[in-house]
Every structure is written in C-alpha cells, then in structure tokens.
Amino acid sequence: MPPAPRTGSTPAGPPFDAVCLGETMVAFRPAGPERLADAQLFVRGVGGAESNVACLLAGAGHRVRWVGCLGTDGFGDHVLAEIAARGVDVSAVRRDPDRPTGLYFRTDGERCTTSERPADGALAEVLYHRAGSAASAMSPATVDRAVANSGRVLHLSGITPALSDSCHALVWELTAPRPGRPLLSFDVNYRVGLWKRRDPAVLLDLARRCDVVFVGADEARAVWGADGPEAVRDLLPEPSVLVVKDGGRGATAHTADGSCHVPALSVEVAGSVGAGDAFAAGFLSATLRGLPVRARLRHGHLTAAAALTVPGDLAEPPARSVADRLAALDDAAWGRLRLGPGWTTRKA
C-alpha cells in the first residue's frame, strides 16, 4: 500500500476539481414583490449560470476555478469579490478596460416554468444589459486552453455560445474531441431572448460533443421538439450521462446502464432563480465523489431545494453530512421530505 500523502501536499491530478467558464453579471431584483416598472428599491446580487455552479461546488468542499471576463468598472470589482468570497479561484478572470460588466434586472419568477410559477400568477420579468459586455468578447484567443482544462471537470452552458460569434467559437473549440480533455459538463440553459438572432439548433451539436449533459424537459420540447426523457435520449445518444429535468416531477438520468428516475422533493418555494444551476452543482459534486447515479440525482434535487428556498441567485448548499444522510433515505422517506426556507442552516 502506498504511503498516505503528507498534510499540505499537492493532490495528484489536475489542480482543480472543476473549472466553470461563462459570463457573470450584476443582478438587481426589486426589494419587494413589485414589477420592474414599479420598483424603487433593488437588491444587488451576482448572477451567472456557470459561476453559480462554481460557488456551490466550492461550498460543497471542492477545489473550483471560475473563468470569465469582466469590465474594469466597479461592478466587475463586485462580481470578482463576491465569487472569490465563496472560495472560488478567480486568478484566471480577465478584465477588459474597453467593455463593461454585464447587468440584468429580474423579478423572482424569472426562470420559472409554467408548473413552477407563483400561485398568484405573477408575471416573470427579466431585462438584460449585456450587449457588448466584456464577457461577450471572449474567444479562443482570449482563453488559455490549459486554464480551461485545469480541472477534472469543465462545466459550460448554452448561454455562452449565444452571446457572440467569438463566444460560440470558444465553446466549439473547448468541446472538440481530443485526448486528455477533462470530463465535459454542458447545461443547455436555453434562454429565448438570447437566441432571437441566432440558431439554437447549435445547442444540439454542442451537447453531442459533451460527456454530461443537463437539459430541461421544457427546453427539449421548445428547441428540439423532443417530448419526454426517452425522446431526448434518442436525440442525444452520445453523452455518457444525459440528465433530463422535469421541474416538480423529478429528473431522469440516462447512462450506459439504463435510465434512473428520482422524483423531485416537496419544497416551499421562495424563489426559483438558480435552481437549475444548483441541480447541476449537486449532481456534479456527487459525480466528483464517485457516487452512483441515483445518489447523484438526489444530491442534485437537494442542492436545487437549497436554491428554491431562498429568494436570491445563490444559497448555501446543505452540509455534505446532511445531504448524504438525506440522499440515503429509502423511497418512502424521500417522498415524505418537506423542505422550507432555512432548512440548510438548521441543525440536522
């Protein structure tokens, strides 16, 4: 048996467990339940699908790097400080003196599907100010491939290729089959507004080049006309793991060993923004730990439940010991779980 590594020694393999690449913006949401038109006070936060995943993975105890580009403005300073404060490495983030950091304004229902919309029928609103942002100028020439490949997992999303031709070229290059590349994780993350002037069919081509793919059932219907987990798998046989999320109904993972479905948890929803990113983070955390597919799906649901029970973009993930205990419940006990605001911070 080889000797145990000395305390403080550098772990073998890549320096990071995961690298997450994409745009992060400053997010503003009304302080109350108003429409954007009526709000006078806004709460400032940070929003970015890939950096959300990075922060949650770091909170779960993983070594994580976020790669992106920000303006040299104060908003860029804020984004950088917030992500670094979550324990994420930001040393590879570029600052562009000629382009601004992206901004967006949203109400709490921004990313709700029909089945998840608030009971009062409140209309979701989102207003982006990201055209010409620093991140939209990312390209194969501005991102060091060695930096992008410095983790066991490289996590990307379908938001980045929608930002510009150069961003599309970057994601296309990073997903190219080549020896020694990290495990490629891709969240389709279809945003209708971003694809108005572009062909979203490229999302299918990109997904086919990746190893772990996350897609919502509603996204698959809207973009590809695929209805149901089996239809999505027929369309995407290439990824070694394909996860089809279906809101409150649950999620199905397709692997070489077959399909595994895990029902969603019963959750008191405070805000739906970031739940999809949280699911991906929980699933990837369990993947990095070598857990079986069923446990990966349950960890995805638990981390999503943490996001659903807070109004902001990011929530503290449950402690690993708590998540492991809940993920190990039998089916009946899993079905009885009811999670509300504050459940991740209370003593188990």
DSSP E strands in 64-125: the ranges are 64-67, 69-71, 94-96, 103-106
Catalytic residues: 277
Identify the CA nearest to 63 among candidates 21, 23, 8, 14: 14
Distance, CA of 67 to CA of 53 (rounded, Å): 12
Helices (H) and strands (E) in the chain, counts: 12, 16
List the structure tokens of 18. 């995961």
DSSP E strands in the chain: the ranges are 16-21, 25-30, 42-47, 64-67, 69-71, 94-96, 103-106, 126-129, 151-157, 183-187, 212-216, 241-245, 251-255, 258-262, 266-267, 338-339
Spatial contact of 156 and 185, defined as CB atoms under 8 Å apart: yes
Distance, CA of 127 to CA of 132 (rounded, Å): 15
Spatial contact of 341 and 309, defined as CB atoms under 8 Å apart: yes
Distance, CA of 307 to CA of 315 (rounded, Å): 5
Side-chain half-sphere exposure of 55, counting CA atoms within 13 A:
25
Angle between helices 320-327 and 293-308 (to 10 degrees): 120
Distance, CA of 43 to CA of 314 (rounded, Å): 13
Spatial contact of 239 and 212, defined as CB atoms under 8 Å apart: yes
